[in-house]
């Protein structure tokens, strides 16, 4: 199906969605002056995913929007990545730039070199290099999202992730995938790249429903006997705490102020705050005179 206008519009929407889901995180980090809870590994994986994705989209002559999209992913992912070191490791601006600029140039150089090499391979009817690029792009994108699955498995909850921005990211995958359908030639590998990440984000939504939404609905609308209510109250309001936890995870938890923070990272944040509170409490305790 060859509809260039539709392919460009959908590709542009996909690129915009991928931009929207990272720019707010960068702005939030800047306003908070910290990147607490973010995983720099995830950002770096997404940045490197943009290299084989850019090579594939350019060599396969995808529409302009899909060619630019990986470059946006690389730049925004690297900016978010270096913010983790600038704010959390207290690096100077010069040290941060001295690291991120060479890395960005390296990625650009690798991508340009691969584009020329794979175009030459394509002229010789070699298919495996393009298959390799597609596999690498899908694997790196999946690895970035996969870190959340590890966190969900360990904590049996989905917290700290903005479901709004996850939906935007997934929508970007959908727009990009459909954009490929309107290309002159239907590219199955290209569709697999975007479909892989979309399926993984869908799994995050399913986990959120299973671990957060369903228990919250059950605790809110489920019928409980008076005796069980009193037992729960005697145990310290466990039901209330459970309802609040899941409710916050869906609404007021850092998902409303952060995009890709994780439950394990949030646990570490609360632990550090608890330690800091105890230290401050000890510091303010008046000494006794014997």
- pLDDT tens track for 96-105: 999 999 999 9
Output the six-digit token pair for 58.
């350019």
Cα of first residue to Cα of last residue in the chain, in angstroms, is 89
85 falls in which pLDDT band (50, 70, 90)? Answer: very high
Region 90-97: mean pLDDT is 94
Give yes or no for a contact between 169 and 18, defined as CB atoms under 8 angstroms apart.
yes
Report the sign of the C-alpha dihedral through residues 160, 163, 164, 167, in that order: positive
Q: What is the mean pLDDT of the chain?
A: 78
Report the alpha-carbon distance of residue 42 to residue 83 in Å, rounded. Answer: 13
145 vs 257, residue with greater confidence: 145
287 vs 207, residue with greater confidence: 207
What pLDDT shows up at residue 257? 41
Report the alpha-carbon distance of residue 91 to residue 205 in Å, rounded. Answer: 35
Q: What is the pTM assigned to this prediction?
A: 0.73
pLDDT higher than threshold 50 for residue 238: no
% of the chain beyond a pLDDT of 70 = 75
- pLDDT tens track for 142-152: 888 887 888 88
**Residue 91 carries which DSSP code?**
-
What pLDDT shows up at residue 114? 96
Q: Report CA-CA distances (Å) from 129 to 70, 124, 148, 156.
A: 18, 11, 30, 39
**3-state SS assignment for residue 260:** strand
């Amino acid at each position: 199906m060859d509809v260039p206008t539709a392919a460009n519009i959908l590709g542009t929407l996909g690129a915009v969605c991928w931009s929207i889901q990272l720019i707010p995180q960068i702005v939030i980090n800047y306003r908070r002056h910290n990147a607490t809870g973010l995983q720099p590994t995830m950002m770096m994986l997404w940045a490197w995913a943009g290299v084989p994705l850019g090579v594939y989209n350019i060599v396969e002559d995808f529409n302009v929007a899909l060619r630019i999209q990986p470059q946006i992913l690389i730049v925004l992912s690297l900016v978010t990545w270096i913010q983790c070191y600038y704010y959390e490791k207290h690096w100077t601006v010069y040290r941060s730039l001295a690291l991120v600029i060479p890395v960005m140039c390296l990625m650009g150089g690798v991508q340009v070199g691969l584009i020329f090499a794979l175009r030459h391979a394509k002229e010789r009817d070699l298919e495996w290099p393009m298959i390799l690029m597609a596999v690498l792009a899908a694997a790196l994108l999946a690895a970035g999202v996969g870190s959340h699955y590890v966190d969900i498995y360990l904590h049996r909850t989905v917290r700290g992730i903005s479901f709004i921005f996850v939906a935007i990211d997934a929508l970007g995958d959908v727009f990009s995938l459909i954009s490929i359908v309107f290309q002159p030639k239907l590219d199955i590998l290209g569709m697999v790249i975007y479909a892989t990440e979309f399926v993984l984000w869908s799994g995050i939504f399913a986990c959120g429903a299973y671990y957060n939404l369903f228990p919250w609905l059950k605790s809110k609308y489920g019928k409980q006997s008076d005796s069980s209510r009193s037992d729960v109250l005697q145990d310290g309001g466990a039901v209330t705490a459970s309802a609040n936890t899941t409710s916050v995870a869906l609404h007021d938890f850092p998902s409303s102020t952060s995009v890709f923070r994780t439950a394990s990272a949030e646990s570490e944040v609360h632990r550090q705050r608890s330690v800091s509170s105890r230290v401050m409490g000890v510091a303010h305790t008046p000494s006794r005179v014997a």
